[in-house]
Amino acid sequence: MSRKALLALEDGTTFPCRAFAGAGEVTAEVCFNTAMTGYQEVLTDPSYKGQMVAMTYPLIGNYGTNPEDVESAKVQVSAFLVKEYMALPSNYRSSQSLAAYLEAAGVLGVEGLDTRALTRHLRMKGAMKGALSTLDLDPTSLTNKAVASPGLVGVDLVKEVTCPQAFRWINGRPDRVLDLIGDFDPEAVWQGGQGRFKVVALDCGIKYNILRRLEKRGMKLVVAPAHTPPEVISDLAPDGIFLSNGPGDPAAVTYVVETVRRLMGLRPIFGICLGHQMIGQALGGKTYKLKFGHRGANQPVMDLATTKVEITSQNHGFCVDADSIADPDVVMTHINLNDRTLEGLAHKKVPIFCVQYHPEASPGPHDADYLFDRFITMMETGKPVG
């Protein structure tokens, strides 16, 4: 039986709804995602840590959930907001309903919420903190709780989602845990699996599908915690370094920025999403919070070198300020065609490049697949590309 629920934003706007999974109360930033499919990938994307996600597509749950379509080991969102929940999924791959999936994870899911009105409000007023409850249905009380919640600015959420220990990724799944503390044998670390290139993936909240795609492209992968010292990464003697996506305010993750600064020029580096923001800061730039962020599988981005437009999958609420980077050897490679914000950077002399979006496209299109080829070329030559 569904329970009455209420969502209150920090500006006092409220949205009545009803819970189809879970119960209780949660405070978090409220954002929206414009993808039509891929809700299980959205739920398990670590970049959504600390956020309630509203889906703009009106019908959610119609194909259920399954153990394969996950992007991390657990549900990461704080709560899930939909217009209409489909209680009876119809798909041969479905092993569990969305409601049962959220119940098992202890995550509150609500329906009957006017997601169109919520999305329009956030687009006009900007992303906001919110409070969602099945216990407290008083608008004033719930608004006060939203106002008092910490929000995302200045908060390091990477430390909450990064892996506790390094591990190998082999045959599409996590393999053995690695001890990289003290003396270790680098050659032994890379044993097992197949691949032409050795790549260390720094886990700031990495999605499984990016690891699947890197492995498919011929890379042996060691996934390392975000706080791994640069000396340890260097001792592993990788052919390349990958910087992952992740949640929270990039300006708060200073230790990763310092790691990037110390590794630049030693090995080719490719970064996406939060990794892009880490590289932007390492190159002298600053980051700022977007009004309502880019979240969905339909963001248009132009490659400035070719003028080709690609439709991309994105999930971020912060951006690198292109004007804050003074180094003339740093070039802007991609821009977002919706709001002209920075979507890609590269260095003319150092083998390093990054994009603000998710080229592995889970969920989403495969337009950005060529970026993996650029990374491979950079590892082959040790030189900048483009």
Catalytic residues: 273, 358, 360
SS3 386: coil
DSSP state at residue 368: G
Separation of alpha carbons 50 and 29, rounded Å: 7
Question: What are the φ and ψ backbone dihedral angles of 305, each rounded to 5 degrees?
Answer: -75, -35
SS3 4: strand
Question: What are the φ and ψ backbone dihedral angles of 188, each rounded to 5 degrees?
Answer: -65, -35
H-type helices in the chain, by residue range?
A: 39-43, 98-105, 115-125, 139-148, 158-161, 186-189, 208-216, 230-235, 254-263, 274-282, 370-381
Name the token pair of 98.
Answer: 């969305």
Cβ atoms of residues 71 and 48 within 8 Å: no
Q: Which are the contacts of 294, defined by CB distance < 8 A and separation ≥ 6?
A: 314, 315, 316, 336, 338, 341, 356, 357
